[in-house]
Amino acid sequence: MTTTIAEHERTHLDGGHWVRACAADRLEPSWGEAVLLHGRQVALFRTSSDEVYAVAHRDPRTESYVMARGIVGSRGERPTIASPLLKDVYDLETGECFGNADLFLRTYRTRIVAGQVEVDLAA
């Protein structure tokens, strides 16, 4: 399911541009959701350890908007997302591609405030 998010409150704390995305309890563990935040397609993931990550929804290799449908996993202690198309594996924290140094997945900082997931769209 893709959730479209309209204009929401913005806060500029910590030097960021924080935008409310959704209620944290709407994210299922090890499952992605796509959201539209101020014209940007972002994929949100909640891991089994209840960490929330946000990355670009656009697959860096194919340029298709599919990353929310990727496979959540890990490499050692690093949380990962594998592209659903060509299975490139990316670090959810850094955006680094484990198999191809030329590929990079945009990442965004996240936080939970009053039960709401917020994504920092700055820079």
pLDDT at 123: 58
CATH of the domain at 92: 2.102.10.10
Residue 3: what pLDDT? 35
DSSP 36-68: EETTEEEEEEE-TT--EEEEESB-TTT--B-GG
Placement of tokens 């992605």 in the chain: 32
Using DSSP bridges, classify how beta strands 107-108 and 52-56 pair: parallel, antiparallel or unpaired. antiparallel
The per-residue pLDDT for 64 is 98
Give me the average pLDDT of each 10-residue run along the chain (123 residues).
36 74 96 97 95 98 98 96 97 97 98 97 82
Q: Which structural domain range is residue 17 located in?
A: 2-120
HSE value, Cβ hemisphere, 13 Å, CA-based, for 93: 7
The torsion angle over the Cα atoms of residues 7, 8, 9 and 13, rounded to 10 degrees, is -90
Give residue for tokens 């850094």: 94
How many domains, the chain?
1
